[in-house]
Amino acid sequence: MIDVSGVSLTAGSARLLDDVSLRVTPGELVAIAGPNGAGKSSLLSVLAGDVPATRGAVTLAGRPMRALRPAALARLRAVLPQRVTLAFSFTVAEVVAMGLYGSRRPAHEEEEILTWAMEVTDVAHLAGRIYPTLSGGEQARVSLARVLVQSAPIVLLDEPTAALDLRHQEQVMCVARERAVAGDAVVVVLHDLNLAAAYADRVLVMSGGRLVADGPPDRVLASETLSEVYGCDIDVHRNGTALLVAPRRAV
The domain defined by 2-247 folds into Rossmann fold (3.40.50)
The structure's pTM equals: 0.94
**70 — pLDDT class (breaks 50, 70, 90):** confident
Span 108-131, mean pLDDT? 95
State residue 250's pLDDT score.
Answer: 78
Query: What's the pLDDT score for residue 1?
Result: 87
Sign of CA dihedral 237, 215, 77, 26: negative
pLDDT, tens only, 142-178: 999 999 999 999 999 999 999 899 999 999 999 999 9
SS3 assignment, position 133: helix
Distance CA 172, CA 78 (A): 15
Q: Do 19 and 4 touch, CB atoms closer than 8 A?
A: no
Q: Is the pLDDT of residue 102 over 70?
A: no
Domain boundaries, the chain: 2-247
* b/e map 62-89, b = 16+ CB within 10 Å: eeebeebeeeebbbbbbbbbeeeeeeee
